[in-house]
Structure 1
Amino acid sequence: MQKFKRNSGIAFCVFIFLVLFHGASAQISGAQYKIYSPIVTFGAGEGSSQNYAFKELIGEIIAGITSGSSYRLRAGAVYRGVPEVISFSLSKNSIDFGTLTTVQVSEDFLDLSVSSNAAFGYAVMLFEDGNLRALSGDDIDDVSNPPVDAGVEEYGIVTEGADGQLFEDTGITNNLIVAKNSGQVSNSLVRVRFHVSISPVTAAGQYGHIVSFIATSEF
């Protein structure tokens, strides 16, 4: 049995970015008035000028949402906004596989938690600064035929939880979506499992790379 002394400190430095998308708004008003319905019509229509755009619906027979670049209307009325909140946390900021061997797959995991009142949901994407690699330049291949198997040089991640998007070991690439929901969430938990294995010809050394999780939400 051949063992490789490596990875007692494979470190994933995780950077968290929170991004909120906000729309601008405008209204038609003067010193003595505010116009909330600039179109008089029995049907739908749209009024606009250099400084505003207003869309009118055909009543509330069918509820729904219409939108433009800077507004959203629900059933013909202004969709009242609420304080925009998104929170995102990770259970830890490093992954440690310990000493790798050819006879088993090494694993570590972290949990991510998201809360957001975004009406149109959120997504958590993954980015990396390059392959899992040693200072010598040797790297460990991303998994190409899941799952990650013992004795084969492979590296990948899989998610658990209702919002998880990776259902089998997947190689890390930029813009990889690991969690997603199309509505509001409170403390949505997703576990991200990291799996790695080596082959008899994998070069010994300490391997690492930087992985960034970015949470985005659309209001």
Structure 2
Amino acid sequence: MLEIPETRPLTLSDVTIRLAERTLLAVSATVMPGEVLTIMGPSGSGKSALLAFAGGFLDPAFDASGRLLIGKEDLTNVAANRRHAGILFQDPLLFPHLSVGGNIVFAVPPSVRGRETRRALAERALAEVGLAGFFDRDPETLSGGQKARVALQRVLVSAPHFLLLDEPFSKLDTALRQQMRELVFSRARAAGLPAILVTHDSADAEAAGGAVIEIGGEAKP
């Protein structure tokens, strides 16, 4: 069985990101387990750079200072592959050479041993989002909403310690967008995962229900 990590708050401590000596953003915030911090701002404002800082893959062209902590553990200088960040992007980014279920099995931690055990975990993850029986399907046969659900479950089975959401709803149509907002935020709450969402859509922020920081502004309750 998949071991669920202990839920801990995520803290951005005096994080400042600059590009060519221009300050893009300065943020200090703590995100409690199951809550979502929304960072809002237009394209080019530094939203995605903040997620890259949190994920450990910030482009060297940017200059960053400050600390990232999960609980009391300082992740600032920890390699990206050891931060246990679950990341959802605008595109599902499913592996085309793997089946739908294979995409999920790929993310199951190595500590879960046994082919049948790993497959059963993936099948259960698919069933949780209405995709029972889809394990052997080709990802290209899925609708946009189905691909988004597979991408979400792939992130969750990886046993992340926190979530980074990079405008994951922006390419969905209006009806699917609302469904995916409800699904992503409810699953984050159920798993007790702190999450950072970057978006330019105020409806995303409203659905997230947590604090909002506008680039260059202050947190709003």
Scaled to the shorter chain, the TM-score interval is: under 0.3
Higher strand share: 1
Please tell me whether Structure 1 or Structure 2 has the larger radius of gyration of its CA atoms: 1
Instruction: Using structure 2 for the length normalisation, give the TM-score.
Output: 0.22
Higher helix share: 2
